[in-house]
Chains A and B, each alone.
Chain A
Amino acid sequence: MTDLIADTIRGSWTNFLYGVQIYLPRVLAALSILIVGWFIAWMLSYVLRHVLRWLRFDRLVERSGISDMLKRVGFPSAVTLISSTAFWMVWLTFMLSGVAALGFAGMEGLAVQFVAFLPRILVAAIIVAVGLVTANFAWRATLLASVNANLPSARAVSSLTRWLIIVLAIAMALEQIGVAKAVVLTAFAIAFGALMLGVGIAIGIGGAPIARRVIERQFPDRTNDVKETDDMSHL
């Protein structure tokens, strides 16, 4: 009996030590991947941060108005955001590789799937970034054009323009990364369509005189030859 127990215990310890023999290198490998990956990610983020600063990327972002938006939503500066994103994306890739190195079943393709998913995230980020820039530009252009054309509610019109573009950009980004694709598309279509329908009804019923005045101001009837504005020459 004692021999059976000793054999069993010896066998278990042999299996255990065998398992440790097999899995310990894997753990060590995973740890080393994590550590090296952290260093690489940190180096990349450091270099990226300095390159962007040298290129005065922060000024460009400031001029495009994106930095304002980021501050409003409590995000750090664009340079920090980009370098941090780069750090996490690289380290996450190494982390997943490390996990895969452990050899657990079902986890081998995780890193590959993640890496395959990365470009879509990148494209979505670019869509959002471009959307933000465009929205800001359109906001400013609409505001100036409306003010200089003496149109009423210039700020409202320009803000509406900005948010429409932002919403469109976010919807496109979500569609790109495939998050609730059908829901996003449908919701956007419904919202956009309802908005336009509402605007049409509002103008048709309540704002017809205003719209008429605005249009008449843009396309004056010169046949009556009535001077509506001054004829001083500015130049």
Chain B
Amino acid sequence: MDTGHSRVMRSSILSDELVRQLVPVGQVDIVVGLPTMNNAATVEPVVTAIHAGLARHFPLERTVLISPDGGSDDGTPAIVRGAPLAYEELRGSKSLRTTHRVSAPFDGVLDRSGGVRTVFAAADLLQACAIVVFSPDITSLTPDWVAELVHPVWKDGLDLVLPIHPRHRFDGPLLHQLVRPLLGAAYRRRLRADLAGHFACSGKLAARMSSHPLWQRDVSRPSFETSLVATGLALNLAVAQVHLGPCRFAPRATGPSLSELFQDVVGAAFESLEGNAPDWLTRDAAPDVPVFGTPAVLEGPEPVIDLAAMAERFTAGVRDLDPLLREILSPETCVRLKAVTHTGEGVRSFSDALWVHVVYEFAAAHHHAVMNRVHLAQALVPLYLGRAASFISDMTAADDGAIESRIEALELEFKASRSHLVERWNSEGGSGR
């Protein structure tokens, strides 16, 4: 009999197969998430290292490895389930508890972000206190990483723990020239962490992120760590950073292009400002993000950097994208941009102040939707290359300490010019004109 109640089918994050495998696991203390997608070549040692880390550092805790799979056709799930456990002898150190491993396809957006969302939902179901997520193609993962990431959450009650890896001098310019200083200035918290694809968070944060508006957009986000970090900063959660050893990944057949990286990472940074505007616009001071552990040393040759190519792309970009840049940037910034000289050895005189203005004006333009936001992120790429080339040119002969100081100076510039961002953000239209 129809009593007037209509049956509403709700969409679910956890597939039936996944739920079926999670039910017997029951309540756990620690969830290790390992989203996979055709990682047969690299995943086995990762699984073994994870279990070794759990057995060594969390022998008494209830743990589970959850590996949502995005539709592998190379046998990755079977490898995950069958990877050998690095138990030490029966009379030695080992986990007292049953080791659970769950690997099943997941629904929704079949990429890494969808996989992580599934891990969060599963952790919520199992009432986990701590979650740590790894990438299945890390080749330098050691068992101790599990402890170093999880302990601050599990033992000290922190909400989010991010890794800091030793890097070559000029590696990661997108991070230290744009993402970190932008988020740091907006949320007034200084960051050193890498967006390497692995992190630890509390069950509370994971539950919160499960229902974050981010997932409601049917957009593929290979790296959503930026949103996660921004959310952590915006909500004033207990965030920490921990030094880990060098991070190396298996060579990837095809990685994202710089353009795609910008759409993803920088787009996420801008969107986080959009979503958390009421918070950061009015924020005064905030506590520092603590750092644990001892910095490791990275050995090996420095990467080859083609400054000439970067400069060429910058010059061509400023020239060819002029109509767009005039819509995005203020007239003064446009003029200053054109004045950045280009010599045969690379871009020079792309000052911190100019770069900060460029970034802030792009952020404001994103807020005002001056143009399609994907195009907006793409338009920033040549300017970023110019800035990176300028920075590297200036610091080629400098040591690590000097580079660190220079990066700090840039962060201070971002902080000092914060009012420019606020002003552009709040202005009507907010476009270049």
Contact = CB atoms under 8 A, between A and B. Distances in A.
B375 A230 contact: no
B304 A227 contact: yes
Nearest to B322: A155
Contact of A140 (B174, B306, B324): B324
A232 B305 contact: yes
Contacts of A147: 313, 316-317, 320-321, 381-382
A137 B171 CA distance: 34
Interface stretch (B64-72, B270-278, B333-341, B365-373): B365-373
A229 interface: yes
Interface in A145-159: 145-148, 150, 154-155
A235 B193 CA distance: 11
A161 B173 CA distance: 34
Contact of B171 (A140, A144, A233): A233
B378 A148 contact: yes
- Chain B interface size, as a band, is 35 or more
A140 B320 CA distance: 11
Interface in A178-206: none
* Most central of A63, A146, A147 by chain B CB within 10 Å: A147
- Chain A interface size, as a band, is 20 to 34
Contacts of B265: 235
Contact of A137 (B174, B312, B372): B372
A143 interface: yes
A148 B304 contact: no
Contacts, number: 78
B261 interface: yes
A152 to B, nearest CB: 9
Given A140-B372, A147-B382, A154-B316, A230 B305 contact: yes
B382 A235 contact: no
A147 B312 CA distance: 11
A72 interface: no
A232 B301 CA distance: 11
A141 B172 contact: no
Contacts of A234: 172-174, 258, 261, 388
Interface in B247-297: 257-259, 261, 265
A6 B251 CA distance: 114
A62 to B, nearest CB: 8
A235 B303 contact: no
Contacts of A137: 372
B192 to A, nearest CB: 15
Interface of B: 168, 170-175, 195, 223, 257-259, 261, 265, 303-306, 309-310, 312-313, 316-317, 320-321, 324, 369-372, 375, 378-379, 381-382, 388, 429
Interface of A: 59, 63, 137, 140-141, 143-148, 150, 154-155, 227, 229-235
29 contacts: A59-B429, A140-B372, A140-B375, A141-B375, A143-B324, A144-B259, A144-B324, A144-B375, A144-B378, A144-B379, A145-B378, A147-B313, A147-B316, A147-B317, A147-B381, A148-B313, A148-B381, A230-B303, A230-B310, A232-B173, A232-B304, A233-B171, A234-B174, A234-B258, A234-B261, A234-B388, A235-B172, A235-B223, A235-B265
